[in-house]
């Protein structure tokens, strides 16, 4: 994994923290990313007619590339998208 892709993964994990602090007596403003969300990029998805974008995260653009540890050139935007989907499905973050 490239350094930039590693930094993106760390930023996503930080942004998608699964342990928000909740105040007592008030309904939670936090909600899970819906299972039927449609992922557009490595930092954006749509659900329920709304577009959500991770604040402070800039994923790689499609059409840009990186070279993995085995020397294979890959589309960085597609890798960012796959990373976001994997993190959301595995970690079930709250927004």
- Among left, alpha and beta (phi > 0; psi -120 to 50; other), residue 48 is left
pLDDT of 95 strictly over 90: no
- Tell me the per-residue pLDDT of 23-50, one tens digit each, with 9 for 90 and over: 567 888 888 999 899 999 999 999 999 9
pLDDT of 2 strictly over 70: no
Buried b (16+ CB within 10 A) or exposed e, 56-93: ebebbeeeeebeeeeeeeebbbbbbbebbeebbeeeeb
- Tell me the per-residue pLDDT of 53-75, one tens digit each, with 9 for 90 and over: 998 988 999 999 999 999 999 99
pLDDT of 3 strictly over 70: no
Q: How far apart are CA 51 and CA 20, in angstroms?
A: 21
User: Is this model's pTM higher than 0.85 or not?
Assistant: no
């Amino acid at each position: 994994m490239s350094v930039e892709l590693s930094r993106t993964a760390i930023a996503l994990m930080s942004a998608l923290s699964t342990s928000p602090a909740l105040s007592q007596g008030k309904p939670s403003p936090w909600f899970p990313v819906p299972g039927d969300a449609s992922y557009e990029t490595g930092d954006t998805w749509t659900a329920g007619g709304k577009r959500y974008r991770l604040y402070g995260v800039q994923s790689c653009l499609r059409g840009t590339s990186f070279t993995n540890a085995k020397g294979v050139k890959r589309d960085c935007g597609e890798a960012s998208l796959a990373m976001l989907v994997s993190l959301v499905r595995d970690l079930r973050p709250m927004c």
